[in-house]
Amino acid sequence: MGPLYLFELASSQARWLELRQSTIATNVANANTPGFRARDVEPFNKVLDGTPVRLAMTSPSHMQLSAAETDTRATAKKDSWDVVHSGNSVSLEQEMIKGSDVNRDYSMNSAIVRSFHRMLLSSTKT
């Protein structure tokens, strides 16, 4: 595996967060539509599962970890949507929770990119 580019990873997650926010907005907009089924996007960790990160040992004093200890794991998610008599499965409470999760994840993503950018700038100052 080649180098892991933080800006590329952050950009991918930002695009995923944009898609998830759009999906949540569609669910909320159709909260009263009979027969509408709530949707969600695949978790972002599925992207990371496809490219497991291996730790580099640059010093003999570093600890050696097995591949099982460094792989990311997908978590099982049960279907928590309740379908009402109209056939609609949108729960506004769940959509608001997911919306706040997107907001928190975007804020964290932005903070990490800002910090990394500051580190790069400080390393190039003379």
Give pLDDT, residue 109.
94
108 neighbors 44 (Cβ within 8 angstroms) = no
Give pLDDT, residue 54.
58
Q: Is 38 exposed, middle or buried (0-12, 13-18, 19+ CB in 10 A)?
A: buried
Q: Where are the domains of the chain?
A: 91-125
> Could you report the per-residue pLDDT of 27-70, keeping only the tens digit for each?
999 988 898 888 888 888 876 676 555 556 677 776 665 555 44
Give pLDDT, residue 73.
41
R_g (Cα) of the chain, nearest Å: 20
Closest CA to 72 of 86, 53, 99: 53
> Could you report the per-residue pLDDT of 57-115, keeping only the tens digit for each?
677 776 665 555 444 343 344 544 565 667 788 889 999 999 999 999 999 999 999 99
Q: How many of the other CB atoms lie within 10 Å of CB of 24?
A: 22
Give pLDDT, residue 69.
46
38 neighbors 95 (Cβ within 8 angstroms) = yes
